[in-house]
Amino acid sequence: MEVGEEILIKKESGVAIISLNRPKANSYYQGFLEVLGHAIIEAGNDDAIKVILINSTSEKFFCAGADIKIFGTNTTERNVEMVKAARAVSDAITTSNKIVVAAVSGHVLGGGLEMIMACDIRLAAEGDYLIGLPEVKLGLMPGNGGTPRLIDLIGASRAMELLLTGNSISPQKAYDFGLFNQLYTKGEFEQKVMAYVNSLALGPGEAMAAIKHYVQKHKGMTWQESLNYETQCVDSLYDTFDAKEGFQAFIEKRVPKFK
């Protein structure tokens, strides 16, 4: 399978669907990550797109992280480059002006979990698959942003336990911890995911981008800095088409048609 066939891209109704397609576990290597990062950036530059959905063509795996066979035979220098490529994917997700949603219905481990934690929203299916960061069992720790993101999402105490043991948790526990935003039954998963992202794609793109970047930057700010940045963000939206359309639609008691 060529690397270009390992990342599938489809665009429809304001949504770019990027599917991981490297049997059997979507384990990644540098070329895979570079194509994935390029796909995310390209979708982010498309004015017709408001939401990027990342999913998997595999029923069993979302992503098992780095391909251990490749990682184990690489030189240290090559592995450092692979980790840099994984970080670049996370950076592409977090800096994108589009809302990035992960749809998970299979095992998501190591770098795969780090990838979805960089996303803005995580939707999951019920099942008996595993979620975890097992790097400590290899004498390592997460290196693609997994450590701070896990702490932010589920709290320091729970994150510490998962990081130190390398143990995995179930989809239900991940949802209970706050790692997943929604947990759907297996049978309704695909339908619910598409309904969710299609609904987001009807929203005001500039306002959603402003909210996304505010939430990200707020974490490292003082209270006053955060308030000032919120003011800066909202001030940039008052004269946009979407803001005027939103107010007009409210007055006319109709559904707004955002740009």
Choose, from 2, 135, 161, 206, the residue flagged as catalytic. 135
Task: Count the alpha carbons within 13 Å of 155 in the hemisphere toward its beta carbon.
Answer: 6
135 catalytic, yes or no? yes
Q: Are 145 and 87 in contact (CB under 8 A)?
A: yes
Q: Are 40 and 52 in contact (CB under 8 A)?
A: yes
Q: Are 8 and 35 in contact (CB under 8 A)?
A: no
Please give the backbone phi and psi of residue 27, each rounded to the nearest 5 degrees, phi first.
-65, 140
- Both tokens of 253, joined, read 């008691």
Q: Which H or E run includes 77?
A: helix 76-95
State the virtual CA torsion across 183, 184, 189, 195 in degrees, nearest 10: -80
114 catalytic, yes or no? yes
Q: Are 56 and 19 in contact (CB under 8 A)?
A: yes
Choose, from 2, 59, 81, 114, the residue flagged as catalytic. 114
Please give the backbone phi and psi of residue 172, each rounded to the nearest 5 degrees, phi first.
-65, -45
Q: Which H or E run includes 217?
A: helix 205-218
Residues annotated catalytic, as ranges? 114, 135
